[in-house]
Amino acid sequence: MTTSSNLLIRGAAAVMTGRAGDAARAGAVDIRIRDGRIAELAAHLAPQGDETVIHADGCVVYPGWVNTHHHLFQNLLKAVPAGMNADLQEWLASVPYPRLDRFTPDIFRTAVRLGMAELLLSGTTTCADHHYLYHHGHGAETGDVLFDVADELGMRMVLCRGGNVQSKSSHPGMRATALVPETLDEMLGDIERLKSRYHDASADALRRVVVAPTTPTFSLPPSLLREVASFARGMQLRLHSHLSETDNYVKFCAENFRCTPVQFVADHDWLGPDVWFAHLVAVTPAEIRMLGQTGTGMAHCPVSNARLGSGIAPVRAMVEAGVPMSIGVDGVASNESGSMVHEANFAWLVHRALGGAKQTRVEEVIHWGTAGGAQVLGLPGVGTLAPGQSADLAIYDVSGLRFAGFHDIATAPVAAGEPTPVRDVFVRGRHVVQDGAVVGLDIERLRRDAAHALTALLP
């Protein structure tokens, strides 16, 4: 493992910056890292005496992906037969929720290790985990586990502390369980504890806490939504949740509140530049304008939306309306892949299938998945490769046969998709993936732990 905090990455065939427009490409430059930050990008940099040289011949370098919506506990729930051909409502009731009470601390830790390892091996350096494994009297320790494993593996972690305080009859997932929802005092009290212990407000923080009830329309009574938003802003925490994932959200709001989902959250102080929502598949032009005008962000999860038959979010219209755009893997129980390369590849393709070849560009998708993610998370010190930025980056080996013939090798990870081998990953200059392996992770032990945990989650 590279232990020096002063590095020089030399010889890359191409470097993508994560920035927008003409600044998206840096060319075949070297990258100098000093004390965990990028100091210089230029061609033919000469090594200095205190630097460790990382040779990147046959590779391309990207900023580390910023995954803005995930459910790490689901890494032990891939391809559950009962949910393979189910829509969101049926899937919730048959896959994650019936198993929530089976997640012991050890099983949860194994799932988190699996998920973070898979993300790192796709070049992801920041994960915002929307974690809702809470019920009355249980789950408070799971947030600590997320931060603990993130520290162990070197990943930048944003805990979006989810949860549900509605009665079982009001929530589509909780109806499938015997669990009792937690109280509002339990939820807010744990958020206060987590903020005090972990939250860092700095521009390149390794640990953040976000207030994130699982779904505004189902997880909280309307009377509490403003209270929770005020609580979050009073603590200077951001807000996150699911919204408009399917037509059912639209139907529910129309029948119960006589408005659209975006109007509903707007009426309860849940829009603004400190808020981002996952999915936003079923939104109207008027809702898109509201999101853009308020600077409310989006975590685009195209693979999960396709897998569950939910639809394709109108991303082009959102971007043109000024909606801050990012990319999220979502839980792998509705994706089967925790790779941000896979997500970026599909995001690039699916909108072209829907609206034509000019809908998406590789450079733009990289921007969404890096700088865009940093923007919605409020982490301006990450997401781009530029002097002064945190040294979060991924080195992809594109010397293999499947990349032979590429005229524009810089686009290879997104245009070719998986498998795109990750050789090295750095987070704030820390070497967290080296020669294709997660540093310090006992893979064989993790395989055994996963196999043991899986038996406890079978029907």
305-349: per-residue pLDDT in tens? Answer: 999 999 999 999 999 999 999 999 999 999 999 999 999 999 999
In the chain, the number of structural domains is 2
Is the pLDDT higher at 5 or at 435?
435
Q: What is the CATH number of the domain that holds 401?
A: 2.30.40.10
The verdict on 423 and 347 lying in the same domain is: no
Confidence grade of residue 76 (pLDDT, cut at 50, 70, 90): very high
Confidence grade of residue 180 (pLDDT, cut at 50, 70, 90): confident
Predicted local distance difference test score (pLDDT) of residue 170: 57
Instruction: For residue 459, give both structure tokens.
Output: 């029907």
The verdict on 83 and 204 lying in the same domain is: yes
Residue 83, SS3 per DSSP: helix
Predicted local distance difference test score (pLDDT) of residue 136: 84
Element (H, E) at 193: helix 184-198
Cis? peptide before 98, omega within 30° of 0: no
The percentage of the chain sitting over the pLDDT mark of 90, rounded to a whole number, equals 88
Domain assignment present for 317:
yes
Mean local confidence (pLDDT), 94-109: 91
pLDDT of 168 over the 80 cut: no
What span, in angstroms and rounded, lies between the C-alpha atoms of 365 and 18?
9
Domain assignment present for 149:
yes
Q: How many CB atoms lie within 10 A of CB 365?
A: 26
> What pTM was estimated for this model as a whole?
0.96
Domain assignment present for 186:
yes
The verdict on 118 and 221 lying in the same domain is: yes
Mean pLDDT, the chain, rounded, equals: 95
Mean local confidence (pLDDT), 63-85: 97
pLDDT of 1 over the 60 cut: no
Give residue for tokens 């029948």: 255
Mean local confidence (pLDDT), 438-447: 97
Domain assignment present for 447:
no
Q: How far is CA 149 from CA 143, 368, 408, 429, in A?
A: 10, 26, 37, 18
The whole domain housing 40 covers 7-63+389-438
Predicted local distance difference test score (pLDDT) of residue 173: 61
Mean local confidence (pLDDT), 36-45: 97
The verdict on 40 and 132 lying in the same domain is: no
The verdict on 317 and 230 lying in the same domain is: yes
The verdict on 50 and 88 lying in the same domain is: no
Predicted local distance difference test score (pLDDT) of residue 206: 98
Domain assignment present for 459:
no
Domain assignment present for 445:
no
What span, in angstroms and rounded, lies between the C-alpha atoms of 9 and 26?
14
Domain assignment present for 291:
yes
Predicted local distance difference test score (pLDDT) of residue 459: 77
The strand pair at 59-63 and 393-397 is best described as antiparallel
- Dump pLDDT digits (tens) for 185-201: 999 999 999 999 999 99
The verdict on 267 and 345 lying in the same domain is: yes
Confidence grade of residue 172 (pLDDT, cut at 50, 70, 90): low
Lowest-confidence segment of 66-70, 167-171, 294-298, 395-399 by average pLDDT: 167-171
What span, in angstroms and rounded, lies between the C-alpha atoms of 80 and 96?
9
Confidence grade of residue 245 (pLDDT, cut at 50, 70, 90): very high
Element (H, E) at 37: strand 37-42
Report the candidate in 415, 392, 416, 389 with the shortest Cα–Cα distance to residue 61. 392
Domain assignment present for 456:
no
Report the candidate in 188, 112, 122 with the shortest Cα–Cα distance to residue 145. 112
pLDDT of 169 over the 60 cut: no
pLDDT of 22 over the 90 cut: yes
Predicted local distance difference test score (pLDDT) of residue 140: 85
Element (H, E) at 268: none
Are the CB atoms for 83 and 94 separated by under 8 Å?
Answer: yes
Q: Last residue of some domain: 377, 402, 420?
A: 377
- Dump pLDDT digits (tens) for 410-428: 999 999 999 999 999 999 9
Q: Last residue of some domain: 377, 404, 421?
A: 377
- Dump pLDDT digits (tens) for 370-412: 999 999 999 999 999 999 999 999 999 999 999 999 999 999 9
Mean local confidence (pLDDT), 167-177: 59
pLDDT of 356 over the 60 cut: yes
Mean local confidence (pLDDT), 51-64: 97
Residues whose CB falls within 8 Å of the CB of residue 329, separated by 6 or more in sequence, listed in order: 67, 69, 70, 119, 301, 303, 304, 335, 337, 338, 339, 340, 343
The verdict on 409 and 318 lying in the same domain is: no
The verdict on 140 and 243 lying in the same domain is: yes
The verdict on 145 and 215 lying in the same domain is: yes
The verdict on 50 and 123 lying in the same domain is: no
Are the CB atoms for 164 and 218 separated by under 8 Å?
Answer: yes
Element (H, E) at 253: helix 247-257
Q: Last residue of some domain: 377, 402, 423?
A: 377
What span, in angstroms and rounded, lies between the C-alpha atoms of 19 and 308?
32
Instruction: For residue 146, give both structure tokens.
Output: 């997320």
The strand pair at 393-397 and 422-427 is best described as antiparallel
The verdict on 57 and 69 lying in the same domain is: no
Confidence grade of residue 5 (pLDDT, cut at 50, 70, 90): confident
pLDDT of 97 over the 90 cut: no
Q: What is the CATH number of the domain that holds 334?
A: 3.20.20.140
